[in-house]
Amino acid sequence: MAAAQDYDDGAVHSQPVDGYDPNYVPDSAKSFVVHLYRHIREKNVYEIHQMYETSFQTLSDRLFKDTPWPSVDAVAPHVDNDHVFCLLYREMWFRHLYARLSPTLKQRVDSWDNYCSLFQVVLHGVVNMQLPNQWLWDMVDEFVYQFQSFCQYRAKMKNKHEQEIALLQQYDQAWNVYGVLNFLQALVEKSMIIQILEQEKEGLEQFTATDGYDYNGGSNVLKVLGYFSMVGLLRVHCLLGDYQTGLKCLLPIDISQQGVYTSVIGSYIATIYHYGFANLMLRRYVEAIREFNKILSYIYKNKQYHQKSSQYEQILKKNEQMYALLAVSLSLCPQVNLVDETVNSQLREKYGEKMLRMQRYDDEAFTLYDELFSYACPKFITPSAPSYVEPFVNYNQDAYRLQLKLFLYEVKQQQLLSGVRTFLKVYSTISLGKLAAYMEVDEPTLRTILMTYKHKTHAIDSEGKIISNADIDFYIDDDMIRVVESKPAKRYGDYFLRQIVKLEGVMNEMDRIKLD
């Protein structure tokens, strides 16, 4: 078994930072909140985006690297005590706290309460503002992350003292899985985003064309939060191991096309990562390979434009994880023809040797599947409350171990079929008796193996249709096995593009050479 994932969220108990005064607001921080408040009132999305993406990070690095931002009570007088703005500020405040420090249990609960208040305003109040898609995505993303983080924290019961346990029992509704799912589902339903996307297909809406923004003086907040909540639901269900339901939640978004989810790179990567992983666990390997290839190709071409982003490290981490998942998918379903040459080249460089060993279907291959899955899978959670009866035990890795066990059970079944594909690749026709002799089994056993192979190379898609993952197919005619191998269409585009890039590189080098 590979080493289990490190689910540690860092130290649980964070003491007040020396020298931090929550009521002290530096002039630059005061100027930031005043200008941000003004731009939100004026619906100046461009300026809001610049302040949110750049100014907030710059000030955090310069003034609040190891401390929280000033408390909301300290900044409220500078923004007319505006209730909605204060909720938005606290959302950013807690996100900064989670990123830079270790939240206490009380802070985790306070963050939950703030999200409840914020989403209640969006769902039941009148929100007349436009916010950047990046911020709205970050809200949903952080909401799910903090839920995941709380579940992991709560599951580590072994070293908790009595006060913590008493607080957990007192705030038993905080980050409750039903509350999290209900908020996300309510945002989807109240925003009517599913109907909007349906109307868009008929040419009656312009949601995607405008990136979700409202240019008629309205608000984009509810609609875009509802849209991103579908991705949030996919992510939560993947964390719970319910892949079928997760993919159903994403059905209204056509991921074969560009959409609002592709307008924010974090959203794009999270969507395809969880979509691909869910398909991998449901044995829809072709779909997983196709989508991993698409996003990895996109990251390869565009990652240099995000080097200054605060999310750059996360982009690189997810990139590496998806290469590992692609290696697993291709080892279980060898369809290299679905992968672009640039992605395939990177894949061979990273996992070429391991993939060759994984094809052997022995104990070493089994260990490699374990290793790659453990590295690349989501941080699964157990959403139920712990037992408060001593002795206390940690159960934060139980969900991960269960998913790993299910995955390796599937791999083990595939190992039993290791010889079939090898022979079917060699022969176009072969008798049952001859193949049985080669595989050293009797004919009834061979028929069972062939039926199992058929079953394992087919899956059911989201529409209930049976789809094939196999690059070769066969049928049995009396006692003869007849093999049908699919021949992929040759693709010349990648080759020409690579040669063009090489030629441009050579020409640039030649331009730099100064001739005497």
pLDDT for residue 11 is more than 60: no
- Write down which residue in 372, 405, 438 finishes a domain: 405
Domain match, 239 and 321 both: yes
Q: First vs last Cα of the chain: how many Å apart?
A: 64
Condensed to tens digits (0 to 9), the pLDDT of residues 321-378 reads: 999 999 999 988 888 888 988 899 999 999 989 988 888 777 888 899 999 999 999 9
Mean pLDDT in residue range 6-21: 47
Assigned domain for 272 exists: yes
C-alpha angle 458/460/465, rounded to 5°? 110
Question: Parallel, antiparallel, or unpaired for β 480-485 and 472-477?
Answer: antiparallel
Structure tokens at 5: 């994932």
Assigned domain for 291 exists: yes
pLDDT at res. 287: 92
Domain that holds residue 481: 427-485
Q: Are 255 and 300 in contact (CB under 8 A)?
A: no
pLDDT at res. 421: 73
C-alpha angle 388/389/392, rounded to 5°? 80
Assigned domain for 177 exists: yes
Domain match, 220 and 308 both: yes
Domain match, 367 and 434 both: no
Task: Report which of 70, 68, 144 is spatially closest to residue 99, judged by C-alpha positions.
Answer: 68
User: In 303-397, which residue ranges form alpha helices assigned H by DSSP?
Assistant: 312-332, 341-358, 363-376
Domain match, 435 and 400 both: no
Structure tokens at 365: 């291959």
Assigned domain for 297 exists: yes
pLDDT at res. 29: 94
Spatial separation of the C-alpha atoms in residues 367 and 108, rounded to whole Å: 37
Q: Which span out of 36-40, 392-396, 479-483 was modeled with the highest average pLDDT?
A: 36-40
Q: What share of the chain is helix, strand, coil (3-state, %, to 5)?
A: 65, 5, 30
pLDDT at res. 126: 83
Domain match, 287 and 392 both: yes
Domain match, 318 and 239 both: yes
- Residue 48 phi, psi (nearest 5): -60, -45
Assigned domain for 234 exists: yes
Name the least confident of 193-197, 262-266, 359-363. Answer: 359-363
Domain match, 254 and 388 both: yes
Domain match, 400 and 431 both: no
449 vs 295: which has the higher pLDDT:
295
pLDDT for residue 145 is more than 80: yes
263 vs 10: which has the higher pLDDT:
263
Domain match, 351 and 444 both: no
Structure tokens at 191: 């925003």
Condensed to tens digits (0 to 9), the pLDDT of residues 45-92 reads: 999 999 999 999 999 999 999 999 999 999 999 999 999 999 999 999
Domain match, 111 and 248 both: yes
pLDDT at res. 485: 66
Domain match, 240 and 132 both: yes
Predicted TM-score of the model (pTM): 0.86
Spatial separation of the C-alpha atoms in residues 417 and 17, rounded to whole Å: 59
Name the pLDDT band for 490 (thresholds 50, 70, 90).
Answer: low
Spatial separation of the C-alpha atoms in residues 320 and 314, rounded to whole Å: 10
Domain match, 162 and 243 both: yes
Assigned domain for 511 exists: no
Give the DSSP H or E segment for 44: none
Number of domains the chain contains:
2
Mean pLDDT in residue range 413-422: 73
Structure tokens at 427: 């022969």
Assigned domain for 509 exists: no
Q: How many CB atoms lie within 10 A of CB 3?
A: 9
pLDDT at res. 505: 80
Condensed to tens digits (0 to 9), the pLDDT of residues 89-140 reads: 999 999 999 999 999 999 999 999 999 999 999 999 888 899 999 999 999 9
Assigned domain for 512 exists: no
Condensed to tens digits (0 to 9), the pLDDT of residues 203-218 reads: 888 898 899 898 887 8
Question: Parallel, antiparallel, or unpaired for β 466-468 and 458-460?
Answer: antiparallel
Query: Rounded mean pLDDT of the chain?
Result: 87
